[in-house]
Structure 1
Amino acid sequence: MRRLSLSTRLALLFAACTAVVSLFAGVLFDRASEAHFIELDQQQLDARLLGLRRAMQGVQADQRETRLADELSRQADLSLRITGSDGQHWYASSPQIPEQLPQAAGLSTISHNGTDYRLLNAPLYPGQPDSPQLTLLLDITHHQHFLQRMQHLIWLTVGLSALATALLGAWAARSGLRPLRRMSAVAGGISAQSLNARLPQAHMPPELAQMAHSFNAMLARLDESFQRLSAFSADIAHELRTPLSNLLTHTQVTLTRPRTLEDYREALHSNLEELQWMAQLVNDMLYLAKADHGLLMPKREALELEDEADMLLEFFAPLAEDAGVRLSREGKARIEGDRGMLRRALSNLLDNALRFTQAEGYVRLSIVDETNAVRVCVENSGEGISAQLLPRLFDRFYRADPARQEGSSEHAGLGLAITQSIVRAHGGTIHCESEAGVTRFVIQLPRT
């Protein structure tokens, strides 16, 4: 079934609202008119009743009919019946009065032979138990015809107003949604080659301008992600080109002539190193892919961070001693996390700090136990990193050292990206600060 357009829905909604409001107002007017007529009839009948009672006072029996006829002749649409206490009809001003009439005192409405009456029952002599009963009947057929015409007019007004509102609502909705159609046309022309296109916001209504702003922000994020993906693919090819070229060249040279078993063994060993580096690169990429899809599920076990830090510092101590770098640790804290993942993150930071720390420098690992979190800092002395490079440090395959642009079997530029994924998997954050020759990586881990 074909769904209704937004313009049609708005038009039908306008029409429905107008019809409901018009119907409600018409019904109220109809009820008010009917109540007004009833009030007028009540006043008229009460006045006639009072006049009849006055006219009947002190009148002889043989003069009653003449006096009543004279009194009723003043109002042609008024009829009268007088019934005695024994139920016998004493007087009837018209033969058209129905035989069976309501006996209850007060005002009521009846219909007989196409004629509508307002009926009032009251005693002729109030206060007397055996008083004859007066029944006044007022012809209200013209009132009822007016109310019927009013009801027909109400239904006609409801229908015409609903139709007019539907047409005007369709025009207003179509005009109001014109910016959406322009946005749709622009969005339809966006492709992978034109992600830099943006929706115009200058002359749009505030509601659509906000939506256009959000859409443009989404396009900016997609454009950035697409550019990063393209750069990422190029970086993978760039990183794999060098080891593959080395493998091909070394294998071709080895096969140019017969060699001894030892030469073949040495060639295979060299190829194995390159293959191991490529396997590590692929494993790292798979690790990051799992992190991107939220598949890194860290274990939760109680860890003493100072013990984990001391173990890593002991592992890196020989390397630091050869480079003339001082290693230290301060602070302690207890946290729940994945031991292997956190070791890998801290190991990446320590390895990165040692590589960029000059002789006689230092690498300090500090642990600060805060109220709601644990802060771990890896700080090292050195040349520092410019502010322009800090936002890109955690990009994959990015190297702050411009001298290291070619693929290497040591470092592929994935360590910081992996560290960031591990920290995020634990619900934490990581950032880098660098000033006055000191570089500091700060990890903030929440308490669980």
Structure 2
Amino acid sequence: MRGRSLSATLAIAFGAITFVVFALVGSMLYYALERQVMQEDDNDIVLISRHVRRLADELSSVPDLREHAARLVSQVLGHREMALRILDADRHLLIQHNAERLGDGASLPVWMQRVPYGERITANALARWQDASGGPMHGIASELRLRDGTTVTAIVSRDMTYRRLLLVHYRDRLYAFGLVGMLLAFVLGWMLSSVALRPLREIAASAATITVDRLDTRIEVQKVPSELRALIESLNAMLDRLHRGFERLSQHTADLAHDMRTPLGNLRGATEVALARERTVDEYQTLLASNLEECERLSRMIESVLFLARAEHPQFVTRLRVLDANAELTRIAQYFEGVAEEANIRLHVEVDGTAKLQADVELFRRAVNNLLANAMRYTPPGKAIVLRATQMAKATRITVANEGTAIDAALLERIFDRFYRADPARKSDSKSAGSAGLGLAIVRTIMELHGGTVHAESDAVSTRFILTFPCRL
């Protein structure tokens, strides 16, 4: 299933975030404005009620109240939503202004409690109700006392319909602005993300041009944002590794084909010569022995290549155990003793008494065997090869040292490459006939499987191959 566009995802996220922010901010502003407007309107009702009471305190009787009705009504004049009604003790109407929506006086006890005379008029005495048409109303009923002791009731109210409509209109505008802002953020987010993601599209286009034939091509990093620089550097590093891997694979394939061609050529040439005319039984036996030797050489080469391929697989298993360095090196020296005597080479084993290591016994023996076989090829007759084990604080070192011609320092690392031989002239000599240039490569692979290292040192005195096994004891 095709994934959603990153530009669309970012644009939707921008729009959603903008809407949520607008909604939260708008709601806070709306409720803050509503509270402030209601509080100011309610304060006006409280203040007008107090003024009406103070004016009533100066009036002597009900007739005097009627006579000065204009003074009382003047408190609500100029406010279209404000209303005033004054009732006597029997709920009879004495004065009113704009009070048609208050209902009749008899309904007063149902929805409103009077503030007794002498008690301070505050916003806590406000009553909230709806008129017959459903409009919101706020008001205060307070008790007034004239100088002759007559008690009347003053009702100061305010029609809140206009305020409600104003707040509803403000809220609707906030919603509209929020939707417009969300759409604008979506469009701008789409445009911005498209521009911001252009380097990714350019990277994808550049990567699409890289093929097996163009693995040396790299993605440019000069004009990309700093956030993508690490990604491009990682991709280029991956391409470098792939390029080196393909080059090594091509080189190994060519080297393997070249090295296999020699024994196959020998087999074919010897067989063609033998078939050119009748041969004696001894000659045929000699031919078969020679062919068998070439077959064994091919078999060793193929087996070495297969081992290297299996060792590079992540699921290759090593069975580690503690080994006595002295016993293992002595066993290997005894195995090569007969070959060494024929070549007039002396073998010595020098081991610290407590030298031990943790390794796979088969792989350890194979690594040391390869080093010893390599040393015997290039050790002159009458010289010695030393197998040495040294116990260190955090590692155990196995050294195979032989006297002979020194190896050029520039070649000491390359000699561990597959199919590489330090001296090209030795490729076809008798000592190198059994070597395919894979022995030292196998040694390095074995050490990598053990988490250790291998390196070579060479001078006029001797050439030394050193295996370093990490100490896990």
With the shorter chain as reference, the TM-score category is 0.7 to 0.9
> Cα distance 1:263–1:406, how it changes in 2: closer, same or farther (>3 A)?
closer
Tell me how large the CA RMSD over aligned residues is. 3.2
TM-score, scaled relative to structure 1: 0.87
Please tell me the residue identity of whatever aligns with 1:329: E
Alignment of 1:378-417 (within 5 A): 378-405=400-427, 409-417=433-441
Match of 2:455 in 1: 431
2:111 to 76, 101, 105: 101
Name the CA distance, whole Å, in 2 between partners of 1:67 and 1:140. Answer: 28
Deviation at 1:13, TM superposition (A): 1.9
Deviation at 1:173, TM superposition (A): 1.8
Please tell me the residue identity of whatever aligns with 2:18: T
1:157 to 171, 177, 185: 177
> Cα distance 1:365–1:27, how it changes in 2: closer, same or farther (>3 A)?
farther
SS in 2 for 1:375: strand
SS in 1 for 2:326: helix
Match of 1:78 in 2: 82
SS in 2 for 1:182: helix
Name the CA distance, whole Å, in 1 between partners of 2:92 and 2:447. Answer: 105
Question: For this pair of structures, how many residues does the alignment match?
Answer: 442
Deviation at 1:51, TM superposition (A): 1.5
The question of whether the paired residues in 1 share the 8 Å contact of 2:66 and 2:95 is answered with no
Match of 1:354 in 2: 376
Name the CA distance, whole Å, in 1 between partners of 2:209 and 2:403. Answer: 51
Please tell me the residue identity of whatever aligns with 1:328: V
The question of whether the paired residues in 2 share the 8 Å contact of 1:326 and 1:361 is answered with no
CA deviation profile, 1:389-410 (whole Å, cap 9, x unmatched): 2332222111112213459641
Alignment of 1:259-408 (within 5 A): 259-320=279-340, 322-325=343-346, 327-331=348-352, 332-358=354-380, 362-405=384-427
Name the CA distance, whole Å, in 1 between partners of 2:442 and 2:253. Answer: 17
Match of 1:446 in 2: 470
Name the CA distance, whole Å, in 2 between partners of 1:310 and 1:202. Answer: 60
CA deviation profile, 1:11-66 (whole Å, cap 9, x unmatched): 22222222222222212211221121122123212212322332333643555566
Name the CA distance, whole Å, in 1 between partners of 2:397 and 2:371. Answer: 14
Please tell me the residue identity of whatever aligns with 1:327: H
Deviation at 1:366, TM superposition (A): 3.4
Deviation at 1:135, TM superposition (A): 5.5
Name the CA distance, whole Å, in 1 between partners of 2:72 and 2:52. Answer: 7
Name the CA distance, whole Å, in 2 between partners of 1:85 and 1:414. Answer: 121
| 1:198 and 2:221 matched | no
Match of 2:54 in 1: 54
Please tell me the residue identity of whatever aligns with 1:117: M
| 1:422 and 2:423 matched | no
The question of whether the paired residues in 2 share the 8 Å contact of 1:428 and 1:446 is answered with yes
Deviation at 1:242, TM superposition (A): 0.9
The structure having more radius of gyration, on CA atoms, is: 2
**Structure 1: runs of 5 or more not aligned:** 126-130
Deviation at 1:313, TM superposition (A): 2.5
The question of whether the paired residues in 2 share the 8 Å contact of 1:325 and 1:354 is answered with no
The question of whether the paired residues in 1 share the 8 Å contact of 2:111 and 2:127 is answered with no
Name the CA distance, whole Å, in 2 between partners of 1:274 and 1:85. Answer: 134
- Segment drifting more, 416-425 vs 93-102: 93-102
Name the CA distance, whole Å, in 2 between partners of 1:227 and 1:249. Answer: 32
Deviation at 1:201, TM superposition (A): 1.3
Deviation at 1:261, TM superposition (A): 3.8
The question of whether the paired residues in 2 share the 8 Å contact of 1:56 and 1:67 is answered with no
Name the CA distance, whole Å, in 2 between partners of 1:435 and 1:139. Answer: 109
Name the CA distance, whole Å, in 1 between partners of 2:221 and 2:444. Answer: 36
> Cα distance 1:264–1:83, how it changes in 2: closer, same or farther (>3 A)?
farther
Please tell me the residue identity of whatever aligns with 1:23: A
**Structure 2: runs of 5 or more not aligned:** 115-123, 146-150
SS in 1 for 2:406: coil
The question of whether the paired residues in 2 share the 8 Å contact of 1:302 and 1:335 is answered with yes
SS in 2 for 1:155: helix
Name the CA distance, whole Å, in 2 between partners of 1:190 and 1:64. Answer: 101
